[in-house]
């Protein structure tokens, strides 16, 4: 007689070809692990559906715009270009004026960097959201990066005042706030950045022109 083939024991009911020990987390475990992020998303969803929510989330919109435009500038620097100036406007729009080498790749790289950079920045921020130390360092680091960009590149009055104020507040918050509130603030910024990357998909496919600082300009997607 021929013995039947042996099957590896597995703790995974749907896996018979290998031994695995994956544990599907429960809702309670997911909340315990990602409660900061879940609370931040809940706050954003509630505020987006509240009459005054857009005013409360206004600083988050300015923050996301700064991230977006900063990555346009960093993309230009990465290919040997320069940043002339970086402006943020009251309507939440922004513009990074860069000088880059002539070429289709160079133009596409810089034009797409706002979308890609926001997604990458959001993902990196999420990596450090679970620890008090990571949230504190991340909050202070974002504030100092804002202040540095103001000193080097931001030139319009609104951008200077708004970003410098936010930068100072973020540094002070990361330095002085209790760990719980620093974590909540950092999770809110990370969630805002990630959601901005998602909502930018609509602009990527359906918007050819955008009003930036009161002037109609070609969108990044069209430039790409």
- What's the pLDDT score for residue 62? 93
In the chain, what percentage of residues exceed pLDDT 90? Answer: 39
> Stretch 104-127: mean pLDDT, rounded?
86
1-5, 44-48, 186-190: which is most confident: 186-190
- Please indicate whether residue 28 or residue 68 has the higher confidence score (pLDDT): 68
Encode the chain in three state secondary structure. Answer: CCCCCCCCCCCCCCCCCCCCCCCCCCHHHHHHHHHHHHHHHHHHHHHHCCCCHHHHCHHHHHHHHHHHHHHHHHHHHHCCCEEEEEEECCCCCEEEEEECCCCHHHHHHHHHHHHHHHHHHHHHHHHCCCCHHHHHHHHHHHHHHHHHHHHHCECCHHHHHHHHHHHHHHHHHHHHCCHHHHHHHHHHHHHHHHHHHHHHHHHHHHCCEEEECCEEEECHHHHC
- What's the pLDDT score for residue 5? 44
- What's the pLDDT score for residue 216? 63
pTM: 0.80
- Beta-carbon contacts of 67 under 8 Å, excluding residues fewer than 6 positions away, are 117, 118, 121, 193, 196
- What's the pLDDT score for residue 58? 92
- What's the pLDDT score for residue 186? 93
Per-residue confidence band for 167, with pLDDT thresholds at 50, 70 and 90: very high
- What's the pLDDT score for residue 205? 64
In the chain, what percentage of residues exceed pLDDT 70? Answer: 78
Per-residue confidence band for 203, with pLDDT thresholds at 50, 70 and 90: low
Which tens digits make up the pLDDT trace of 129-142? 888 899 999 999 99
């Amino acid at each position: 007689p021929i013995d039947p083939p042996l099957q590896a024991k597995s703790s995974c009911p749907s896996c018979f070809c290998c031994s695995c020990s994956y544990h599907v987390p429960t809702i309670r475990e997911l909340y315990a692990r990602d409660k900061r992020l879940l609370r931040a998303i809940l706050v954003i969803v509630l505020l987006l559906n509240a009459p005054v929510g857009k005013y409360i989330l206004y600083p988050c919109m300015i923050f996301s715009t700064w991230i977006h435009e900063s990555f346009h500038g960093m993309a230009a620097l990465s290919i040997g270009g320069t940043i002339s100036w970086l402006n943020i406007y009251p309507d939440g729009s922004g513009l990074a004026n860069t000088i880059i080498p002539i070429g289709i790749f160079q133009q596409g790289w810089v034009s797409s960097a706002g979308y890609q950079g926001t997604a990458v920045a959001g993902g990196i921020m999420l990596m450090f959201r679970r620890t008090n130390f990571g949230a504190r360092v991340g909050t202070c680091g974002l504030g100092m990066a804002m202040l540095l960009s103001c000193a080097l590149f931001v030139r319009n009055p609104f951008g200077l005042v708004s970003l410098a104020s936010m930068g100072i507040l973020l540094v002070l918050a990361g330095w002085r706030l209790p760990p719980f509130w620093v974590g909540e603030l950092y999770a809110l910024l990370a969630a805002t950045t990630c959601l901005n990357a998602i909502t930018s998909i609509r602009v990527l496919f359906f918007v050819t022109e955008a009003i930036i600082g009161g002037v109609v300009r070609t969108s990044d997607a069209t430039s790409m």
